[in-house]
Structure 1
């Protein structure tokens, strides 16, 4: 790919020089006093190097295709030569088109920003009206009836702060350090109090914390 780019640069350079010479001799026939060879060469080379920009503007794949097809490479060379010969017109035309595209893009950007500002101005009162304020409410202390026993408290913390959302019976027993019958009894009580939930999937029964369990856990902390 790098070698192909070097070849393209060499072709654009030579086509620019040759096209500049052709342009110089063509112009000198009509106005020899104002025609300058260095200026023609510089403008020709510049116009030749504008060919990739023109191809990009028209979404052409000629440069990519020229690396695999010699005929496409010759067509690219011809474009560079034509651009160099018609350099005065080409440089002006491409510059005007680029400036026009930039001006159009800026106008569209300004219009979109103005529309966004109008939408934001219209929605701001609605957002402020419909947004609930963050009220700081102190958690109520637990009553003696709500105070969980040690095992239940440990299971709540394990379900709420563990790595997994859905826990197995064996994993809970190991982490809380209680035997299986005690864990089963504790979980059944928690399900009855809506502190924990139970689901059955492909891997068997799994236990999880409910909203009631999260609220109780928050009041315990």
Structure 2
């Protein structure tokens, strides 16, 4: 008879993911062990294997949950906001809000994703590509026709927008939600209007 799933299974799984992300990011994914994660979670090594078969499955789930959730939020904005400029600002705000408290996941995304099997990497990179594609499509709707038709130029613009968001996340880690929203609007104005669209005060 199969072992029943505890009522708090999902809550414990979420706690394991958060703790494992910290352990992997701070100590290095290659050097960290399942025993170390279990200790940090306050559970036995045997118990953690009830949730995950090993480090690889744990790393994949950390990144899968993180990237899929952000991808789904961007899709929701796209469905809810018909006006392109409003949609762009909303997308940027969602991204910056989601970045808050996600430092360990970002480190793993940059430094450990490549250690996963190709099939797992493909799933995660599909999330990333989908987010880039949707943001780029929104920017293209607001760009002059000639610029919008240039895939290479729109890629440069889209990744530059992501670069600005990443800069803010890196250098303003304690920013409030209101400050994140304000910066998202600033990035949209810079991308669409240049310096002429930026006001001196907030």
Q: Which has the higher helix share?
A: 2
TM-score normalised to structure 1 length: 0.22
Identify which of structures 1 and 2 has the higher relative contact order when contacts are C-alpha pairs closer than 8 Å and 6+ apart.
2
TM-score normalised to structure 2 length: 0.24
